[in-house]
Amino acid sequence: MDTPRKISCISYLTSWEEMVETWIEVFHPEDHVLVVFDPMNHKKTLSNLGFNFDELRLFNSKIGVLQLSDIDDGLWLVKNLPKNGPYVQLWSLNNYISDNID
């Protein structure tokens, strides 16, 4: 093994909450957005609700973002997703609104 090397760097750690918040702030500040966690494991549920994701991107995705035209659709989804469905968060106009955890 080579001699250990001292590497100078700056490291950043972030949580998924911070990443989602930043994504919404940067890309969807004026939108209604449903954030879907672990969409690959809930593909059938999402498909039954009419959501179609690109299969290649879905394969490696941990979080899906659905831009909605109406916040009422998001509220309905949060309340009516099956109990065995994905964890979701609703965001509107850059503000966290709700999730589907009771």
Token pair listed for 6: 């001292």
Flag whether 8 is in a domain. Answer: no
Residue 37: which of 71, 76, 66 has the closest Cα? 66
Give this prediction's pTM. Answer: 0.84
**8 Å CB contact between 91 and 98:** no
Flag whether 20 is in a domain. Answer: no
Number of structural domains the chain divides into: 1
Flag whether 2 is in a domain. Answer: no
Q: Which domain holds residue 76?
A: 29-99
Flag whether 33 is in a domain. Answer: yes
How many Cβ atoms are within 10 Å of 92's Cβ, its own excluded?
20
Flag whether 17 is in a domain. Answer: no
Flag whether 4 is in a domain. Answer: no
- The contacts of residue 62 (CB under 8 Å, 6+ apart) are 16, 37, 38
Flag whether 23 is in a domain. Answer: no
How many Cβ atoms are within 10 Å of 34's Cβ, its own excluded?
25
**Per-residue confidence of the chain (102 residues) as pLDDT tens digits?**
688 888 899 998 999 999 999 999 999 999 999 999 999 889 888 888 888 777 777 777 889 899 999 999 999 999 999 989 999 999 999 999 999 997
Flag whether 45 is in a domain. Answer: yes
